[in-house]
């Protein structure tokens, strides 16, 4: 059947804390903050995600608009009524976790099954001053959550830990997963580029610790002044006095478009973590495990384009290998084709286990449905090309707009192509993400990302009768009920400049989508050969976007979908959803797609209940639990590398699904070599372990970085405490390989989880 490309309860990760209350102390214990209903598990392609900039949604609790210690000048309230004005979008507006809780019925009725919120932890809470050439000053705040100050305390503008846990529980009780934004690339701006790069902030703090080195929290999970020094936090690292090498400290990237520039220099003068430092990697892993212990269902990783992939791989592995099993991981690898980084982008999930926000889908949808600068045929080509390029195309998180780009409504003010784009998003391969307010046609004052970060409370009445709202609701229901949309392949049945007809198929289940993007022009689509059974198929949107039923009949022995006319802006969605039965197992998705022996893995599809056998190649895995739609299993001890998962039920064997088995806990080795090259050559490393390609030059690491040529270096993810052999090679664009001479080199990786070690600068043999 070709390549068929996550939800079950996940317990919570363990993290040692000390609880303090009432003047007495509870000894250090394992925190196991389990939700009221139990965590719902990772995202699956059946989910519809709703992205909320917490500060810009709803103000449910006005008491935290200006938290203690914060300045009222950071809150947008020119009339002093205590409520955000929605005018100065650089300042806080007042949205909080209580506001999200208040709107859960609105979200649930729309068909939202997962909510992605801003980073929940404490951010820098001082003014960020941008000095203007004319003498004025623009004052910015960290309302967006991307300027971490303390990973182990909540952002008080959003609420305390008890409010976060209430949000988690309310979402879970209503069947919605919780994904948090998480930043491991940087802290805040440490140099001010508008003031001669003068020293600014960027400091990182942590809570008080007890004598055993454990963080101290009260019974509600909030930091306390354990050492009675008048503070509930302590300075951990300062990029302007970086005594322990926590930051790269190389200054802003500017126009440096090299991989080195992207990964090691500052993004917008934000203090860039040195993730090659083992202490930094361990600390960031600890921070993520702290939030995993709160019962969340996933992480959206910020700025993955700017991060060291070896660190990302180890970070994700540490999170998913901890108690509670795998959660969702997707990240912001921001490209815009044509882009020289496309190959790096499309392979990032395979190399790290962290999926991508689908910027390629965004680009194509914006051009096809927004600006009309590309055709519908171009959009269809993108769908099929990326389905081939992406190993796990249904796990890519697709979107029309988000906080990093302008509002789609700013580009496309006409309702008909706007609705058509929404329909395409919700029926295409991938896991769709709806930016808050898209269903209410929120727009921007200009094309900037900040202009799109409007305060929804002041811009919308949360109308549940908009066509966009109802389109999301109907197609979310179809995505959950018909596996063709969630797990299926994509085939283009017909395309022109303005019309696209495509099929999603998972075994016998099919959904056919026919779209006319032109608002005022009709087009006739000729009869289309189909494998659908004969009969009449009603529009799953019930005519909401002007669609109607269509008929399949047999013509000269071939079933055909009858010719039809698409009126301006018309979208038809015809669904064929037969019961596949329970006898034959069929795999649709697997989470995670990378892990080690002993890890939990969730297998999704149909026919998975009853007596089943799960195998990784030929090795049998332990099945923990199963139902018709999901299996929880344990990765068996099996040879490291790519393995194929199958499920056997009686004499029936499922299709295969790719899974990469890691040797062990992943740590970093920074390889360095002094080597001269000719034009077009790059340096790589190969070795006798799978992470180094098992001596196969075609499976070598990515090319080394060379900011100080002829010295080359690269951080590589390898199993901890392992002695391995390796050699450096030179390879050109044509694939010609030159091996260095001499004996095989040997090295032993760090035995510490999240450890990092350095070979020192070696000389090409």
Kind plus residue range of the DSSP H or E element containing 53: none
Per the omega criterion (within 30 degrees of 0), is the bond before 592 cis? Answer: yes
Give the contacts of 530 (CB within 8 A, at least 6 positions apart).
493, 503, 512, 552, 559, 560, 561
Cα separation of 201 and 738, whole Å? 47
- Residue 457 has φ and ψ, to the nearest 5°, of -60, -35
- Asked if 685 and 720 touch (Cβ cutoff 8 Å), the reply is no
Rounded-to-10 torsion of CA 326, 330, 333, 335: 140
> CA angle at residue 478 from 475 to 479, to 5 degrees?
85
Neighbouring C-beta atoms of residue 539, cutoff 10 Å? 21
Instruction: Provide the 3-class DSSP secondary structure of residue 694.
Output: helix
Give per-residue burial for 29-54: e unless 16+ CB within 10 Å, then b.
eebebebebebbbbbbbbbbbbbbbb
Chain centroid, CA 460 distance in Å: 27
Neighbouring C-beta atoms of residue 578, cutoff 10 Å? 11
> What is each CA distance from 710 to 676, 704, 728, 732, 765, in whole angstroms?
6, 11, 14, 16, 14
Structure tokens at 642: 């790519």
Total count of residues recorded for the chain: 765
> What is each CA distance from 363 to 45, 256, 338, 360, in whole angstroms?
20, 23, 10, 5
Cα separation of 505 and 483, whole Å? 8
How large is the C-alpha radius of gyration of the chain? 26
Chain centroid, CA 276 distance in Å: 22
- Asked if 502 and 383 touch (Cβ cutoff 8 Å), the reply is yes
Cα separation of 463 and 516, whole Å? 26
Give the contacts of 616 (CB within 8 A, at least 6 positions apart).
635, 636, 638, 643, 644, 645, 659, 661
- Asked if 623 and 631 touch (Cβ cutoff 8 Å), the reply is yes
Closest CA to 642 of 320, 313, 350: 350
- Asked if 243 and 279 touch (Cβ cutoff 8 Å), the reply is no
**Active centre residues (catalytic):** 302, 332
- Asked if 601 and 7 touch (Cβ cutoff 8 Å), the reply is no
> What is each CA distance from 471 to 324, 418, 424, 501, in whole angstroms?
35, 11, 11, 18
Beta-bridge partners for 672: 713, 761
> CA angle at residue 118 from 112 to 119, to 5 degrees?
130
Closest CA to 394 of 310, 494, 507, 506: 506
Give per-residue burial for 366-396: e unless 16+ CB within 10 Å, then b.
bbbbbebebbbbebbebbeebbeebbbbbbb
Furthest-apart CA atoms within the chain: distance in Å: 87
Kind plus residue range of the DSSP H or E element containing 208: none
Closest CA to 653 of 602, 620, 613, 621: 613
- Asked if 450 and 90 touch (Cβ cutoff 8 Å), the reply is yes
């Amino acid at each position: 059947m070709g390549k068929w490309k996550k939800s079950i309860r996940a317990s919570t990760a363990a993290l040692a804390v000390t609880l303090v209350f009432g003047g007495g102390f509870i000894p250090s214990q394992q925190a196991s903050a389990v939700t009221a209903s139990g965590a719902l598990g990772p995202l699956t392609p059946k989910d519809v995600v709703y992205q909320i900039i917490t500060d810009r949604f709803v103000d449910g609790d006005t008491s935290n608009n200006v938290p203690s210690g914060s300045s009222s000048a950071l809150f947008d309230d020119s009339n002093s009524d205590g409520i955000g004005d929605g005018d100065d979008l650089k300042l806080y507006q007042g949205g909080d976790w209580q506001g999200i809780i208040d709107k859960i019925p609105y979200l649930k009725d729309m068909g939202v099954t997962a909510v992605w919120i801003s980073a929940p932890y404490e951010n820098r809470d001082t003014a960020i001053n941008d000095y203007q050439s004319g003498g004025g000053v623009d004052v910015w705040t960290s309302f967006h959550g991307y300027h971490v100050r303390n990973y182990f305390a909540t952002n008080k503008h959003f609420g305390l830990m008890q409010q976060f846990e209430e949000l988690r529980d309310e979402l879970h009780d209503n069947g919605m997963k919780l994904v948090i934004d998480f930043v491991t690339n940087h802290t805040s701006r440490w140099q001010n580029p508008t003031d001669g790069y003068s020293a600014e902030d960027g400091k990182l703090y942590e809570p008080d610790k007890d004598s055993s080195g454990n963080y101290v929290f009260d019974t509600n999970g909030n930091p306390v002044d354990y050492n009675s020094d008048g503070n509930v936090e302590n300075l951990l690292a300062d990029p302007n006095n970086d005594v322990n090498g926590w930051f790269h400290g190389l200054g802003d990237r500017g126009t440096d478009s090299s991989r080195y520039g992207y990964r090691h220099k500052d993004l917008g003068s934000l203090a860039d973590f040195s993730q090659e430092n083992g202490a930094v990697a361990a600390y960031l892993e600890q921070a993520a495990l702290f939030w995993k212990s709160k019962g969340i269902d996933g992480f959206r990783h910020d700025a993955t384009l700017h991060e060291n992939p070896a660190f990302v791989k180890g970070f994700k592995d540490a999170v998913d290998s901890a108690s509670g099993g795998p959660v969702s991981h997707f990240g912001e690898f921001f490209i815009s084709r044509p882009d020289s980084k496309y190959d790096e982008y499309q392979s990032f999930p395979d190399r790290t286990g962290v999926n991508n926000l689908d910027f390629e889908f965004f680009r194509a949808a914006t051009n096809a449905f927004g600006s009309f600068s590309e055709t519908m045929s171009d959009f269809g080509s993108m769908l099929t090309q990326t389905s081939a390029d992406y190993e796990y195309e249904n796990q890519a998180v697709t979107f029309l707009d988000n906080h990093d780009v302008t509002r789609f409504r700013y580009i496309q003010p006409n309702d008909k192509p706007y609705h058509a784009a929404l329909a395409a998003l919700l029926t295409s391969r991938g896991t769709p993400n709806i930016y808050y307010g898209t269903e209410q046609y929120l727009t921007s004052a200009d094309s900037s990302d900040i202009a799109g970060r409007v305060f929804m409370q002041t811009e919308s009445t949360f109308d549940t009768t908009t066509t966009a709202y109802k389109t999301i609701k109907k197609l979310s229901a179809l995505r959950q009920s018909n596996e063709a949309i969630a797990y299926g392949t994509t085939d283009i049945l017909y395309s022109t400049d303005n019309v696209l007809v495509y099929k999603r198929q998972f075994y016998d289940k099919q959904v056919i989508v026919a779209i006319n993007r032109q608002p005022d022009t009709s087009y006739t689509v000729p009869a289309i050969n189909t494998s659908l059974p004969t009969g009449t198929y009603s529009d799953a949107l019930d005519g909401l976007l002007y669609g109607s039923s269509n008929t399949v009949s047999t013509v000269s022995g071939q079933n055909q979908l009858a010719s039809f006319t698409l009126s301006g802006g018309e979208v038809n969605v015809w669904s064929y959803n037969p019961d596949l039965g329970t006898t034959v197992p069929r795999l649709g998705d697997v989470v995670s797609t990378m892990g080690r022996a002993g890890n939990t893995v969730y297998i999704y599809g149909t026919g998975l209940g009853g007596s089943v056998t799960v195998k990784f190649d030929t090795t049998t895995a332990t099945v923990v639990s199963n139902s018709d739609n999901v299996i929880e299993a344990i990765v068996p001890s099996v040879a490291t590398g790519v393995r194929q998962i199958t499920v056997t039920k009686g004499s029936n064997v499922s299709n295969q699904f790719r899974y990469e088995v890691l040797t062990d806990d992943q740590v970093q080795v920074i390889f360095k070599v002094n080597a001269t090259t000719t034009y077009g050559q790059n340096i790589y490393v190969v070795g006798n372990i799978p992470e180094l390609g098992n001596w196969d030059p075609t499976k070598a690491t990515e090319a080394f970085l060379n900011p100080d040529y002829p010295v080359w270096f690269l951080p590589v993810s390898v199993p901890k405490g392992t002695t391995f052999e390796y050699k450096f090679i030179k390879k050109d664009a044509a694939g010609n390989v030159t091996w260095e001479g001499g004996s095989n080199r040997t090295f032993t990786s760090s035995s510490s989880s999240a450890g990092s070690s350095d070979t020192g600068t070696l000389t090409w043999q």
